[in-house]
Amino acid sequence: MDHQLIHRAAKDILHSKKTIAFTGAGISVESGIPDFRSAQGLWQKYDPEEYATIDAFHSNPDKVWRMLKEMFLLIMAAKPNPAHIGLAELERMGLLSSVITQNVDGLHQAAGNTNVIEFHGTHRTLSCLRCSTKIDGTSLTPESLPPRCSHCSSLLKPDVVFFGEAIPWKAQIMSAEESKSSTALLVIGTSAVVYPAATIPITAKEGGATVIEINMEPTPLTDQISDYLIRGSAGEIIPAIVEEVKKMKG
Ligand code: NAD
Ligand code: ZN
């Protein structure tokens, strides 16, 4: 971990009028939920391009639920890690106004962040595509998966955005507003290749924000959009930044 960059990030956060975070699957890896692109279990078995499309859900929901069930079980068992907890602490200190996340695991809210924009929806609620019935997914048990609609008995779909589905309009509007008005952006654990989510750092940069990237490896944003990359695990880097902020505030 590069201490000079930790210090630079803390300084940028303290000098920024409005700091926001944009997070991806990488921030939840240390909570036990594998990301897409690193070579790991779940997504080796289930190609998202094959399983996470809305067409696949319509034509073969049973097949898609084999993947969803494993994802659900991981999410049900997951707890916020020091990276999520550090972001919640920044919010409590008045230094983070929102978190725009591509994740669907609810871990930012579990950590205590109150202004979370879920760009790709959430696993916490499920809907019936036939009759629009909605249920709370947090009360589901592993034995009750996959859940069926109590009205028409169709297989329910978690309210996550599948490939081929639109981004929830409220999330689009709110994230555009947040990124335009930010003066610093923390981009954490995203490969920044899924569009339109990946436009968020570009919008922030165009508006003059300092873009601080935290990732295990460089991404297409590095050297193009990011002012600098702090390379390493989010679970180590975020708490280190929070500590440095506290030290500098005195
Ligand atoms: P991605 O899998 O494409 O990229 C993850 C990035 O995180 C990579 O750049 C990787 O280098 C980095 N990374 C991995 N471990 C890290 C760590 N400990 N600290 C810091 N960085 C780390 O993820 P994405 O860009 O979010 O795009 C994938 C899509 O899949 C998203 O739309 C998301 O909705 C979905 N997804 C969500 C979850 C979740 O909710 N937890 C999990 C898997 C996939
Ligand atoms: Zn129904």
Domain with 247 in it: what CATH number? 3.40.50.1220
Judge contact between 105 and 33, C-beta under 8 A. yes
7 is catalytic: no
Q: In the chain, how many domains are there?
A: 2
Residue 199 C-alpha from the chain's centroid? 15
Backbone angles phi, psi at 238, to 5 degrees: -60, -50
> Which CA distances in Å does 163 have to 26, 59, 176?
19, 14, 21
Residue 40: per-residue pLDDT: 63
Q: Which residues line ligand 1 (CB under 6 A)?
A: 24-26, 28-30, 33, 35-38, 102-105, 120, 189-191, 194, 214-217, 219, 233-235
Residue 72 to residue 116: CA distance in whole angstroms: 20
Residue 53 to residue 72: CA distance in whole angstroms: 17
Closest listed ligand to the CA of 218: 1
Domain boundary among 160, 181, 210: 160
Backbone angles phi, psi at 207, to 5 degrees: -80, 0
One domain for residues 172 and 219: yes
Each residue's pLDDT, cut to its tens digit, for the chain (250 residues) gives: 899 999 999 999 999 999 999 999 999 999 999 887 665 667 788 888 889 999 999 999 999 999 999 999 999 999 999 999 999 999 999 999 999 999 999 999 999 999 999 999 999 999 999 999 999 998 899 899 999 999 999 999 999 999 999 999 999 999 999 999 999 999 999 999 988 999 999 999 999 999 999 999 999 999 999 999 999 999 999 999 999 999 999 8
Residue 175 to residue 242: CA distance in whole angstroms: 24
Q: Give me the CATH number covering residue 42.
A: 3.30.1600.10
Domain boundary among 107, 138, 160: 160
- pTM attached to this predicted model: 0.95
Residue ranges making up the domain that contains 99: 1-32+80-120+167-250
